[in-house]
Amino acid sequence: MIKWLFKYGAVIFIFNSILLSIESTYYIGNQIFLALMGIFLFVLFINPKQIKAVLFHKAFLFLLIINIINLLYFFLFHSISDYEAIKYLMARGVQFSIISFSIYYNYEYYKNKFFVHLVYLLFGIVIFGLIINPSLFSSRYSGIIWNPNMFSSLVVIGFSIHLLKYKKRTNFDYFILVTFFILALSTGSRGSLVGIIMVFFVNYGFTLRNMLYGFLALVFSLVVLSLNLETSINRFSEQSMFNDRVIQFEYAYLSVKEKLITGYGLDKYSYIDKSLVPKYLKSKIIGAHNGYLAIFTQYGIIFGSVILFLIFRKSFLSYTYFKNRGSFERVYLFIILYTLLASIYESLMTGINEFHTILFWFSLAILSYSKFKEEYEV
């Protein structure tokens, strides 16, 4: 049982984040999350030798450093009675532990089979969503997922994985790609266009084929724009990329300035200080909608800069080492690059149970471990 948990803990964690994105399964997803956290924490306590072998492994050292930074921040700026901060501290620590142990004990699975299972799970969810909610273009589509932007992230990642992973495709593979593509547009998320354009460049580069795809995409966009729909293309043409984000960026920035050194605390991720927001705007200002501002709001400028330095450093090392690779490395590398770009307009990298965010940290960790294996193992 313990060995199985070490091997597949990250699969449970990632798949469970999808349950947490569906209103009808949120409760059971939350119970699974709490059970996984508790059981894994107990298993860590009774296996101290495993902690030394895995959590102190050179490949996962950056995750350990972030956990130490979180602990130091807690002791400096929180009290022992800050229950929510303690929950974040423990959840982040256990999350990173689950990721590290799963990669260490089940590397071949995450290298060869994980993406197949993830894509089919995502495809099953979108098909089930179409059965329950077939009204694709009547409004911003989200299937059975609670939020169109969240649904957009799921289908764009599913599309990207399936496009990047395979060179030879069956008719069913093309059907999956087309389904993901149409659903991505139907969400009305401008981030969908960013992700799809980005994955085409990653997959094909500036080639004649890519230019042809670009031309076809332009023609398709013009056709869609002529229709009175609420797709990603229509929203992109009617508004700038950051039209509804700028005002949220503004108050996120003001929040950072308000507590520039200390930040607002570990539990205040994707946070905006509502006391700084005029009454008439309070309903419109939801969160930072920017992962970088969110980190500064949470940690303050000093601790936040260290966190971002670790993220950018590990991302840069992964990119320079794997940029010309094929197969599974470029899929994980795309997830990293896409997250760094998407964090400009979404509050990624900071949360615990967000699907895209978990995949980002997992991708950083597995490429770090893969790099270590190539450099130090025969």
Residue 368 has pLDDT above 50, yes or no: yes
Window from 125-134, 234-243, 271-280, 284-293 with minimum mean pLDDT: 234-243
- Whether 245 contacts 194, CB under 8 Å: no
Residue 261 has pLDDT above 90, yes or no: yes
Round the average pLDDT of the chain to a whole number and report it.
85
Residue 214 has pLDDT above 70, yes or no: no
Q: What is the pLDDT of residue 276?
A: 82
Residue type, 224: V
Q: What is d(CA 102, CA 358) in angstroms, rounded to the nearest whole number?
A: 13
The model's confidence at residue 327, banded by pLDDT at 50, 70 and 90, is confident
Quick: pLDDT tens for 56-65: 999 999 999 9
Quick: pLDDT tens for 233-244: 444 444 444 456
Residue 145, SS3 per DSSP: strand
Q: What is d(CA 143, CA 25) in angstroms, rounded to the nearest whole number?
A: 14
Token pair 């609670």 is found at 146
Task: Express as a percent the part of the chain with pLDDT over 70.
Answer: 87
Go through 175-194 and write b for each residue having 16 or more CB atoms within 10 A of its CB, e for each that does not.
Answer: ebbebbbbbbbbbbbbbbbb
List the end-to-end C-alpha distance of the chain, in Å, as a whole number. Answer: 30
Residue type, 378: V
The model's confidence at residue 246, banded by pLDDT at 50, 70 and 90, is confident
The structure tokens listed for 272 are 């905006």
> Comparing C-alpha atoms, which of 370, 350, 367, 369 is closest to residue 358?
350
Which residues pair with residue 22 across a beta bridge? 145
Quick: pLDDT tens for 282-315: 667 777 778 899 999 999 999 999 999 999 999 9
pTM, full prediction? 0.89
Out of 198-207, 213-222, 239-248, 316-325, give the one with best mean pLDDT: 316-325
Phi and psi at 169, nearest 5°, equal -130, 145
Window from 82-96, 166-180, 281-295, 330-344 with minimum mean pLDDT: 281-295
The model's confidence at residue 29, banded by pLDDT at 50, 70 and 90, is very high
- Residue scoring higher pLDDT (75 or 220): 75
Residue 85 has pLDDT above 60, yes or no: yes
Out of 30-39, 182-191, 241-250, 361-370, give the one with best mean pLDDT: 361-370
Segment 75-94 shows an average pLDDT of 92
Phi and psi at 239, nearest 5°, equal -130, 155
Segment 172-177 shows an average pLDDT of 92
Q: What is d(CA 172, CA 320) in angstroms, rounded to the nearest whole number?
A: 34
Residue 67 has pLDDT above 90, yes or no: yes
Residue 356 has pLDDT above 80, yes or no: yes
- Whether 289 contacts 252, CB under 8 Å: yes
Q: What is d(CA 299, CA 138) in angstroms, rounded to the nearest whole number?
A: 41
- Residue scoring higher pLDDT (91 or 236): 91
Q: What is d(CA 9, CA 253) in angstroms, rounded to the nearest whole number?
A: 37
Q: What is the pLDDT of residue 209?
A: 61
Give 268's DSSP letter: -
Residue type, 321: Y
Window from 63-67, 134-138, 221-225, 282-286 with minimum mean pLDDT: 221-225
Q: What is d(CA 309, CA 315) in angstroms, rounded to the nearest whole number?
A: 10
Task: Express as a percent the part of the chain with pLDDT over 90.
Answer: 49
Q: What is the pLDDT of residue 212?
A: 63
Residue 259 has pLDDT above 80, yes or no: yes
The structure tokens listed for 226 are 């002529």
Q: What is d(CA 18, CA 30) in angstroms, rounded to the nearest whole number?
A: 11
Residue 364 has pLDDT above 60, yes or no: yes
Compute the Cα dihedral for 12, 157, 91, 267 and give only its sign.
negative
Out of 3-17, 137-151, 161-175, 315-329, give the one with best mean pLDDT: 3-17
Q: What is the pLDDT of residue 193?
A: 81
Token pair 């060179």 is found at 167
Residue 325, SS3 per DSSP: coil
At CB < 8 A and 24+ separation, what contacts does 115-121 make? 115/161, 115/165, 115/328, 115/331, 116/165, 117/11, 118/14, 118/15, 118/158, 118/161, 119/158, 119/161, 119/162, 119/165, 119/176, 121/15, 121/18
The model's confidence at residue 231, banded by pLDDT at 50, 70 and 90, is very low
Q: Which helix (H) or strand (E) holds 338?
A: helix 327-342
The model's confidence at residue 323, banded by pLDDT at 50, 70 and 90, is confident
- Whether 60 contacts 365, CB under 8 Å: yes
Q: What is the pLDDT of residue 205?
A: 67
